[in-house]
Amino acid sequence: KMNQRGQIPGCIVEGPLAFDGAVDMKAAKLKGLTESGVGGQADVVIVPNIEAGNLYGKIVSLYCGYRVAHFVVGTKVPILIPSRADDGENKMLCMAMALACMVR
């Protein structure tokens, strides 16, 4: 709704989408999602709860080699939730993304 009100300029918000349709162009084409502007090329994935986020983050970092930043938004300040197993670079990525969310 924030995007519909123009509160999030310069981006395309779409969803909900299955993970493969959001980040994999081949899957997006097979599912007919390429016309949306997001299908197959999402830069950000928003999950419904902390459990789903933890599962998603572990899968894409351990099995896909993606760099992920875990944090909660929608509070007065972003809440960082890096994994205890994250390296220093990943923890810095969490902080950088959280700071970017705070810039208005």
Q: pLDDT by residue for the chain (104 residues), tens digit each?
A: 777 888 878 888 888 899 899 989 999 999 999 887 888 998 888 888 889 988 988 888 888 888 888 888 788 888 888 888 888 888 888 888 888 887 76
Domain count, the chain: 1
Domain presence at residue 83: no
- The tokens for 25 are 């162009």
pLDDT of residue 74: 80
CA distance 32 to 52: 25
How far lies 22's CA from each of 37, 43, 91, 99, in Å? Answer: 10, 9, 25, 25
Within a domain: residue 104?
A: no
Per DSSP, 35 falls in state G
Question: How far, CA to CA in Å, does 36 sit from each of 10, 75, 78?
Answer: 15, 29, 29
Q: Are the C-beta atoms of 25 and 7 separated by less than 8 Å?
A: no
- The pLDDT assigned to 104 comes to 63
d(CA 84, CA 53): 15
Inside any domain, residue 34: yes
Q: Which domain holds residue 6?
A: 1-46
Say what the pLDDT of residue 26 is. 95
Residue 15 within any structural domain of the chain = yes
Write down the pLDDT at residue 27.
Answer: 94
